[in-house]
Amino acid sequence: MTFLIKNTATDVLNKFVGGKFENKDQLVGNMDAVLSNEGAIEMANSNKMQNSSSTILGKVLELKSRVLLEDTTEPRADLVYLNKSREWGNVINVSLGDIILPYSRDYKRGEVTIGADHSNSTPTQGFEDTSYGEPLTIKPMTAAIEIGYFELKKAARDGIDMLANEIRERQYDMDSFVESYFFQGLPQFALPGYFTSLNPAKILVPESTVNVGKRRWEDKTPSEVLADLKLMREQAKLQSKKGLYPTVIQLSTPEYTYLSMVRMGDGQSPTILEQWTKEMLLLSSPALSFPQIATELMPLPFLDAKGIADADGATGVAVTTRFGAGTYSVKYGAKQRTEMQQDGWTYKMGLWAPFGGVTAKKDSSAIWFEGI
């Protein structure tokens, strides 16, 4: 028969203070043993590390927080654009104080000619640097963690890893901050967002030919609405330097919902959204000799009521872009921490990360359509 003998608080604490750990897992295991033992927490809070003003508990919390910050946080479903940015490789690691020049390096096509001996007129190709604004300075994004001594004791009794929960939530808060200001940026801190750096041209959609003088989709026939979407796609291609169709038409959510609910004809016919999707699949089919780039319709709450106001209030917006991998960058560095400080019965630690907003590569096919 095997007996399991639980380590005493003294054993757990002595192992941490005097232990030599061969790897991170051993260190983490020992720190978890301290933070899960109420008696060890009491002793660690009452004794200081050798040659240090920090308590043993403060050192345990500081070391574990360092390990937790090294681990990659799990993506959460509501961080839609930050998750996609990481998937596309659009998140750029930056450092505090970095100065980013807002230039775009576009490949510049050179001329091609017929060569001949003794000719020095060979054309060249290369990159063309274009400035799109003022230099950008990376700034600190900050958060804080406070853990009470008595909270830690209760968490140990309840089997809860309080420090891991706190750091996980503060990391999520920082990611949520980036997500919240993804499109509009923070102009008060000179940090750009996707649309503020993109600065697309703004034009009105055409009026209805059925209800003269009306532009809103709710005042147009389904066929006119579908025609508006096709016009947006073609106009973006015409404006594009490379003659490319936009990959996305981003829409204010009420207008996207309208497309998903209103049918092209009777109750058996497809909705406008379904009809658009069907046509895009046909145009981009690999069975075609020359398939086109499909343009996806995407709801974007940021665009809600961003259009010009008419007699019925603010209108929705549709924006054509080539939103995807390599078309923008999120300047967001690794999360870091300050030392754990004890203030009475509370342990405090600051978290911060370098942040420089979101910068879009200048997209000549980007058009902001108002009045829908």
Q: pLDDT of 115-164, one tens digit each?
A: 666 666 655 555 454 555 567 789 999 999 888 889 888 888 888 888 88
In b/e form, how buried is each residue of 1-17, taking b as 16+ CB within 10 angstroms? eeeeeeeebeebbebbb
CA pair distance 55, 351, nearest whole angstrom? 20
Q: Domain extents for the chain?
A: 1-71, 199-326+362-370
pLDDT tens for residues 177-204? 999 999 999 999 989 999 988 888 899 9
CA pair distance 158, 38, nearest whole angstrom? 10
Instruction: Give residue 75's pLDDT.
Output: 72
User: Of 90-99, 125-134, 252-261, which one has max mean pLDDT?
Assistant: 252-261
Instruction: Give residue 51's pLDDT.
Output: 59
Specify the pTM: 0.78
**Any idea what DSSP says for residue 103?**
E
pLDDT tens for residues 306-360? 877 666 666 789 999 999 898 899 999 999 888 888 888 888 888 899 999 999 8
CA atoms within 13 A on the CB side of 356: 26
Whether pLDDT at 53 is above 80: no
Contacts of 82 (CB under 8 A, 6+ apart): 75, 91, 175, 178, 179, 182, 330
8 Å CB contact between 294 and 248: no
Residue with the bigger pLDDT between 10 and 348: it is 348
